Amino acid sequence: RDHLDQVLAFGAQRHRDPVQVRSSIESYAESWRLPTEKLGAPWASLSGGEAQRANLAIALALAPDVLLLDEPTSACDAATTALVEASLSAFPGALVVVTHSQEQARRLGSVHLHLSAVDGGEA
């Protein structure tokens, strides 16, 4: 069973229609310039950016109430980052995003918590 089939099975357990979830994943992938055949490829064969986009597409397609993202576009180029951020901005649930990019935080969030190192680098 490939990774995508496992995701669809998980979505079904959460009362999500597997056909709709697959369609949504493929739609995100296409809009983010990720060939849909990559979704069925062995995960280890994907580049960092491809894996990142595939995982984000899966997370969004499962339609959670809250999405926690750590550096969601760190492996993406500027053009792809803009495409992904547009999708994240349209997400109807709550987003919690950890990022080193203050610009990205401003683009994606309405409430910000800024953490910084103190005392010689110890937080």
Q: CA dist 96 to 14, 35, 79, 105, Å? A: 21, 27, 22, 10
Q: How many residues does the chain have?
A: 123
Taking only the tens place, the pLDDT of each residue in 33-72 is: 999 889 888 888 999 999 999 999 999 998 999 999 999 9
Residue 121 lies in a domain: no
Taking only the tens place, the pLDDT of each residue in 82-114 is: 999 999 999 999 999 999 999 999 999 888 888
List the domain range (segments joined by +) for residue 33. 3-108
| Residue 123, Cβ density class (10 Å: 0-12 exposed, 13-18 middle, ≥19 buried) | exposed
Per-residue pLDDT, 41: 86
- Does residue 123 carry a pLDDT above 60? no
Residue 47 lies in a domain: yes
pTM for the whole structure: 0.83
Residue 117 lies in a domain: no
Any idea which residue has 């079904």 for tokens? 12
Residue 32 lies in a domain: yes
Supply the CATH number for residue 95's domain: 3.40.50.300
